[in-house]
Amino acid sequence: MSNLSPALIEIVFEHADFLIINKPAGVSVQNEQDASGILPIICKQLSIDKLWLVHRLDKITSGLLILAKHAQAASTLGKLFEARKIEKYYLALGTAKPKKKQGTISGAMKKIRDGKWALSKDGTAVATTQFFSKSVSPGIRLYLLKPLTGKTHQLRVMLKSLGSPILGDVLYKSSEHDRTYLHAYCLRFCYQTQEIDICCPPTSGELFNTEACHNALDEYNQPWSQNWPTSASRKG
């Protein structure tokens, strides 16, 4: 996506110490051989010299990404992420109805072939995700995901383990679509006594933009208010 115009990057929230942007799907957080990463795009857009990356999204994932304006803010935000004091909520679309409409999946993440990861019963890199799901239309299901850990490909692997790989995620054996239907939807945290909760619904993708999906999303407009599970009881 090397021809993306920087003007298309939406600044969702601006603080004296950091920005929260809506990263488009298809843009990497790091520079690639043939395309700029998100940092130089935003720096050019805002005519500033430097921003600090404090967490990551996969290239295929759209949605909320925090960028610090200076090193001290990057350190503070990084510590909040490490302490799991930043709540993250994602949206995904799949095709299959899981055995349970809501629950918790937990398992060790193991790297396998071709850049893929899988859940394993053994290992120390345990990943945990809580989820709700609901039908959007025949053959399309909306997942609200709350990762309690931040492992590489965690949500993609979790949905695959439910038998409902994310639509468009061909790496994990889903069918091809106009995009991979994974979106970083909401962030909620306290920064220096300021309570911040930001939600940013997905804007790209034919399936995200259907009336049925918009209607289904109404129930999740404040995802932290859902009756989330209190313990990781299900092994993936």
Domain boundary (83, 113, 133) is at 83
Q: In Å, what is the CA distance from 104 to each residue of 64, 95, 107?
A: 23, 19, 10
- Do 156 and 189 belong together in one domain? yes
d(CA 50, CA 233): 43
Domain boundary (83, 100, 118) is at 83
Residue 98 and residue 163 in contact, taking contact as beta carbons nearer than 8 Å: yes
3-state secondary structure (DSSP) of residue 134 = strand
- Whether 193 shows a pLDDT value over 70: the answer reads yes
- Do 119 and 218 belong together in one domain? yes
- Do 73 and 113 belong together in one domain? no
- Do 76 and 97 belong together in one domain? no
Structural domain boundaries, residue 216:
87-236
Report pLDDT digits (tens) over 61-101.
999 999 999 999 999 999 999 999 999 999 999 998 888 88
Domain boundary (83, 114, 132) is at 83
pLDDT at residue number 126: 87
> For position 37, which CATH number holds?
3.30.2350.10
pLDDT at residue number 231: 53
113-121 mean pLDDT? 81
Domain count, the chain: 2
28-32 mean pLDDT? 84
* pTM of the predicted model as reported, rounded to 2 decimal places: 0.91
15-42 mean pLDDT? 90
- Whether 4 shows a pLDDT value over 60: the answer reads no
- Whether 118 shows a pLDDT value over 70: the answer reads yes
170 Cβ partners below 8 Å, 6+ apart? 176
Known catalytic residues are: 58
